[in-house]
């Protein structure tokens, strides 16, 4: 009995807590998931203002139940609160009846069950029809909100998304690639998404949009950002070992700032010192999942101190770790395998530019 009451109390408190309890954009933790050894190397040479934006923590505000609303699609929150209120109403009602009846009709010496009807058609029909009608409204409300997420707007801004284990790649109209999503505010966005290997899913909770990403197919999602800020971007379809590390950020900029950002970032990368570019590739293109740069052991060989070494290969030959070796390892990883490591590295052919490949070689060289 007491416990049931306590549970009800908890429920009520939660319900009260769902009254808008907006927090400021509190300082969320900085990009988690990057292992400690990342800090050891030098920072890449992007313009300071771009770096500052990249380093911003993501928004952790919102109400008790839902994160900050950052897109027009977040208007579907109304449905969430509606069904929440409905649920709390019915839950409280049922719980109240159960508790009340259990107490009132509890067995005590001399107490007997009183005669009552075994069924009541009117009552049963009523409590079938009313929920049905409620469900019709819930369905319509849900359908409505859903359509707005799935209908292609008139002139959306197209950003191409490529997901693979366990990195994101967003391609912007100017040809720049980034692991983070940058979008201008109040502009309808179209994401054209595909995967290079297994299923992934794009999910930014403040945008309230989510869509599976399927290999060899394009899937689409549409949304219009409506609030400036930095938000968390997750992979929301289990994709293996580092599924929970496939997290990045989504930035909503002013329109002019956005354009400047992607243009300057692209230019900066083109002029970037190859070592810095290589380090960025290591961090953002998936190498970090299997290769360390501090000598630590992981799925693949560490890069620290590997440059120039003679390494034995599984076919018995030896090879020198030089630019050609690095290139082969990137393009045809199964060709020159070192013993003691699983042959599981996927190829990056077609995913890295020449500059990036050279950058990786330069970066590895710098780790001597």
Partner 1 sequence: MTAGHDHHAPHGPGSGHDDHGDHGTHPPGIQHHYDDAQHQFDSGKLGIWFFLAQEVLFFSALFVAYVLYRHHRPEIFAYAHHYLDVKWGAINTGVLIVSSLSAAWAVRCAQLAQRRGLILCLSITLVCACGFLAIKYIEYTHKIHEHILFGKKFDPCVSSGGQHLLTNGDHCPGTKRSACRAADVDLRPDQPGWQVACKVKETTPTGTRELPVCEMEAHHHGPAHAANPPCWEISQNPWVCKAGDFNGTPGVAALVHYGDHALRGSSTKIELECDAAKAPPTPDYAADLPVVGGLGQGTFQPKQKLSDHDLGVQRSMGPPPEHTNMFFSIYFCMTGLHGIHVLAGVIVCIWLLIRAVKGHFTPQYFGPVDYFALYWHLVDLIWIFLFPLLYLIH
Partner 2 sequence: MSTGNPNVSYFEASHGIKNWLYTLDHKRIGLMYLFGILTALMIGGAFALLVRIELMAPGETIVGPETYNRLFTLHGAVMVFLVIIPGVPAALGNMILPIQLGAPDVAFPRLNLFSFYLWCTGAACLLLSIVFGAIDTGWTFYTPYSLGGDHTPVMLAIGGAFLLGFSSIFTGLNFLVTIHKFRPQGMGWFQMPLNLWALYATALMQVLATPVLGITLLLLFMEHFLHIGIFDPTLGGDPVLFQHFFWFYSHPAVYIMIVPAMGVISDVLTTFSRKPIFGYRFIAYSSVSLALLSFLVWGHHMFVSGQSKLANMVFSALTFTVGIPAAIKVFNWTATLYKGDIRLKTPMIYALSFLILFTIGGLTGLFLAILSTDVHLHDTYFVVAHFHYVMMGSGLVAFLCGLHYWWPKFTGRMYPERIAQVCAVGVFIGFNLTFLPQFVMGSRGMPRRYWDYDPEFAIFHQISTIGAIILGISMFTQVIYLMASFKIGKKAPKNPWGASTLEWDAPSPPTLYNFPEPPEVHEIYEYDDIVEESPDNWVRVNRKGTGTKAEH
- Using CB under 8 A, which residues numbered 146 to 165 contact partner 2? 146-147, 149-150
Binds partner 2 (CB under 8 A): choice among 24, 175, 216, 316:
216
Per-position DSSP letters for 169-237, written without gaps between them:
EEE-TTS-EESSEEEETT--EEEEEEESSS-EEEEEGGGTEEEEE-BTS-EEEEE-B-S-EEEEEEE-S
How many residues bind partner 1, per CB under 8 A?
5
- What does 317 interact with, of partner 2, partner 1, none (CB < 5 to 8 A by kind)? partner 1
- What does 315 interact with, of partner 1, partner 2, none (CB < 5 to 8 A by kind)? partner 1
Answer yes or no whether residue 211 interacts with partner 2 by CB under 8 A.
yes
Which stretch in 58-66, 178-186, 191-199, 313-321 sits in contact with partner 1 by CB under 8 A? 313-321
Binds partner 1 (CB under 8 A): choice among 316, 340, 342, 343:
316
Binds partner 2 (CB under 8 A): choice among 94, 158, 255, 267:
94
Answer yes or no whether residue 317 interacts with partner 2 by CB under 8 A.
no
Answer yes or no whether residue 232 interacts with partner 2 by CB under 8 A.
yes
Binds partner 1 (CB under 8 A): choice among 55, 217, 315, 368:
315
Please give the angle made by the CA atoms of 112, 114 and 115, to the nearest 5 degrees.
140
Answer yes or no whether residue 351 interacts with partner 2 by CB under 8 A.
no
Answer yes or no whether residue 115 interacts with partner 1 by CB under 8 A.
no
Rounded CA-CA distance 119/135 in Å is: 24
Phi-psi region of 308 (alpha: psi -120 to 50; beta: other; left: phi over 0): left
Per the CB < 8 A criterion, the answer to whether 231 and 250 are in contact is yes
Residue 155 tokens read as: 């002139």
Answer yes or no whether residue 49 interacts with partner 2 by CB under 8 A.
no
Per the CB < 8 A criterion, the answer to whether 352 and 361 are in contact is no
Taking the CA of residue 191 as centre, how many other CA atoms within 13 Å lie in the half-sphere pointing to its CB? 31
Q: Give whichever of 116 and 318 is closer to partner 1, judged by the CB atom.
A: 318
Rounded CA-CA distance 23/68 in Å is: 9
Q: Which residue has the tokens 């707005």?
A: 148
Q: Give whichever of 16 and 255 is closer to partner 2, judged by the CB atom.
A: 16
- Least distance from C-beta 187 to partner 2, angstroms? 20
- What does 339 interact with, of partner 1, partner 2, none (CB < 5 to 8 A by kind)? none
How many residues bind partner 2, per CB under 8 A?
94
Residue 55 tokens read as: 């380093």
- What does 316 interact with, of partner 1, partner 2, none (CB < 5 to 8 A by kind)? partner 1
Q: Give whichever of 217 and 368 is closer to partner 1, judged by the CB atom.
A: 217
Answer yes or no whether residue 111 interacts with partner 2 by CB under 8 A.
yes
Measuring CA to CA, how many Å separate 300 from each of 72, 217, 255, 346?
44, 30, 42, 12
Answer yes or no whether residue 317 interacts with partner 1 by CB under 8 A.
yes
Taking the CA of residue 238 as centre, how many other CA atoms within 13 Å lie in the half-sphere pointing to its CB? 2
Per the CB < 8 A criterion, the answer to whether 233 and 203 are in contact is yes
Answer yes or no whether residue 60 interacts with partner 2 by CB under 8 A.
yes
- What does 174 interact with, of partner 1, partner 2, none (CB < 5 to 8 A by kind)? none
Rounded CA-CA distance 122/232 in Å is: 51
Binds partner 2 (CB under 8 A): choice among 42, 43, 158, 244:
244
Rounded CA-CA distance 46/42 in Å is: 12
Binds partner 2 (CB under 8 A): choice among 19, 29, 48, 297:
29
Q: Give whichever of 132 and 317 is closer to partner 1, judged by the CB atom.
A: 317
Where do contacts with partner 1 occur on this chain (CB under 8 A)? 315-318, 335
């Amino acid at each position: 009995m007491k416990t049931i009451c306590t549970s009800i109390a908890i429920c009520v408190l939660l319900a009260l807590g769902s009254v808008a309890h907006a927090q400021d954009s509190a300082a969320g933790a900085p990009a988690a998931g990057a292992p400690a050894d990342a800090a050891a190397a030098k920072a890449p040479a992007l313009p300071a203002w771009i770096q500052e934006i990249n380093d911003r923590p993501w928004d952790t505000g919102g109400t008790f139940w839902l994160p900050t609303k950052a897109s027009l699609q977040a208007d579907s929150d109304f449905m969430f609160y509606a069904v929440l209120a409905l649920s709390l109403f019915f839950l409280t009602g049922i719980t109240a009846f159960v508790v009340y009846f259990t107490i009132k009709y509890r067995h005590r010496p001399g107490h007997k069950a009183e005669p009552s009807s075994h069924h009541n058609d009117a009552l049963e029909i009523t409590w079938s029809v009313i929920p049905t009608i409620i469900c019709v409204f819930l369905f319509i409300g849900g359908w409505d909100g859903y359509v707005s997420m799935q209908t292609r707007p008139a002139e959306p801004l197209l950003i191409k998304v490529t997901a693979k284990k366990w990195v994101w790649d967003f391609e912007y109209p100017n040809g720049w690639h980034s692991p983070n999503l940058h979008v201008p505010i109040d502009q309808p966005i179209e994401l054209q998404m595909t995967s290079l290997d297994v299923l992934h899913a794009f999910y930014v909770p403040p945008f309230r949009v989510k869509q599976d990403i399927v290999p060899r197919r394009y899937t689409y999602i549409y949304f219009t950002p409506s609030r400036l800020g930095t938000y968390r971007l997750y992979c929301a379809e289990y994709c293996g070992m580092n599924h929970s590390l496939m997290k990045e950020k989504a930035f909503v900029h002013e329109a002019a700032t956005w354009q400047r950002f992607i243009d300057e970032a692209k230019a900066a990368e083109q002029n970037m010192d190859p070592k810095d570019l290589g380090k960025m590739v290591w961090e953002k293109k998936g190498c970090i999942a299997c290769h360390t740069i501090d000598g630590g052991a992981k799925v693949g060989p560490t890069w620290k101190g590997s440059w120039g070494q003679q390494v034995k290969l599984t076919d018995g030959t030896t090879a020198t770790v030089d630019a050609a070796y690095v290139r082969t390892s990137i393009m045809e990883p199964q060709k020159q395998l070192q013993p003691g490591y699983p042959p599981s590295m996927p190829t990056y052919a077609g995913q890295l530019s020449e500059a990036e490949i050279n950058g990786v070689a330069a970066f590895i060289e710098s780790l001597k």
